[in-house]
Amino acid sequence: MIKVFKLPDLGEGLTESEIVAWLVAPGDEVTLNQHIADVETAKAVVELPSPFAGVVSVLHQPAGVVVHVGEPIVSFDIGGGAEPTSTAPTDTTAGAAAPAEQREANLVGYGPAVERGGHPQRRARAGGAESVPAPATSTTAAPVPAVTPAAVSTDQPAEAPVPVPLAERPRSTPPVRALARDLGIDLTTVTGTGKDGLITRDDVRAHITESVPTPAVHGEPVSPTAAPATSRGDDVRETRSPIKSLRKLTAAAMVQSAFTAPHVTEFLTIDVTPTVELLDSLRTDRQFEGAGIGILTVVAKALCLAVGRTPSVNTRWDEPAGEIVQFHHVNLGIAAATPRGLLVPNIVDADRLDLRGLAAALAELTTAARSGTTTPAALSGGTITITNIGVFGIDAGTPILNPGEAAILAMGAIRSRPWEYRGEVALRKVLTLSLSFDHRLVDGEQGSRFLADIGTILADPARVLTMV
């Protein structure tokens, strides 16, 4: 029996995903919940597990394409070669067994299967795959052409490395793909020597040596060291890339924010020498040893305290409802630059955490963002955001609001500068804060007081006692 697995709803109402890489090929035997593909949504890269145990019959979509929720992506033959514990019914009746089959294919976090039209339909969560009965005259491979909407090869050669469809990306691991990308090598031109045709690092390096003589277009020999530069196409004056995934979402969000919320940005430059001295003392305190408390941690805590004195910065403008939503908790977003682009995961209930708790949450958030394991749930629900542009050596900027939030604070680099201190000029640690806020929700007086409160805490941490 052939089972068709359709792209599930991966959460947060996302309607499409890009297939980054297939980790299986037609003819491969897979187990239940085996990692079969990497799928990139607009918010995160997700490992897609198999909902069935059986043999991969057809890959309906090649790697690198954007697929809508509900479209078929892979078919499985669960008849022969499947594990004895396969949960799929063996009879072909479509009566009471049909709902049960759909529920079996459901995975945690997956949304409904789409049965009509190829477009997602929002409803109660059910299975992410659909059972397709085999035609009466079929055995195993015969129904494959009938269920696939894509032009994929259905030949079945005897050798394992051969049955890779023309449109499918060669099998390789993420480190190998990264190496090929850095060297400008097209993996479709590389022959894999690993198991089942898997391309290894040595295959990529060997391909560089083998391809050295080919670029002699200008009648000049090419040295081995010049191969990577030649394969990148140094003579190409421009390169076009499709707008998709995270970049597409970020662009839409920034345009929506910039042309919907009237932005106001204010700046405040302060002497943060006392805060720097406080951090130095905490690093030598055994009670905080290994806590990882840094300047971002202190700024985050100062912001949470200041929100309590100016709650209007922690609100949302609900246009459809004609209401202003006042949040009584702080889900603190932290803008993070990652290889995929800009992400803003948030720390839930950051206002309830102490310095140690904030430091731990920031470390966990940063690690997940850099490794690409940030979940879609962690990227939604923020109420106010901090962006640390100081790590790039920038002093100030005019940050754009995260859609749905009323304020965003940018912290610049800490620099040693001449500063007036107790009637004299001294070399002090100076920091510039930039606050952008939605003028529909935050008046100038409120935004100024909020920024001043943060500055007061950083300039003199002991002043916190007068604010709480």
Cα–Cα nearest to 105, from 116, 113, 97, 115: 113
- Bridge partners (DSSP) of residue 264 are 437
* Alpha helix (H) residue ranges in 310-443: 355-371
3-state SS, residue 111? coil
Token digits for 9? 């709803």
Cα–Cα nearest to 228, from 213, 212, 252, 242: 212
Number of residues assigned to the chain: 468
Positive or negative, the Cα torsion across 302, 308, 309, 315? Answer: positive
Q: Give the span between the Cα atoms of 127 and 150, in whole angstroms.
A: 23
CA 197 to each of CA 21, 81, 177, 317, 363: distance values in angstroms, whole numbers, following the listed order: 15, 22, 15, 55, 39
**Are the C-beta atoms of 383 and 405 separated by less than 8 Å?**
yes
**Are the C-beta atoms of 224 and 209 separated by less than 8 Å?**
yes
CA 183, 188, 191, 194: dihedral to nearest 10 degrees?
90
Token digits for 152? 């994929």
Cβ neighbour number for residue 22 with a 10 Å cutoff: 25
Q: Give the span between the Cα atoms of 153 and 54, in whole angstroms.
A: 19
Q: Which of 68, 263, 329, 439 is catalytic?
A: 439
Residue 262: exposure state from Cβ atoms within 10 A (0-12, 13-18, ≥19): exposed
Q: Among this protein's residues, is 439 annotated catalytic?
A: yes
CA 308 to each of CA 262, 330, 359: distance values in angstroms, whole numbers, following the listed order: 23, 10, 20
| Residues with catalytic roles | 439
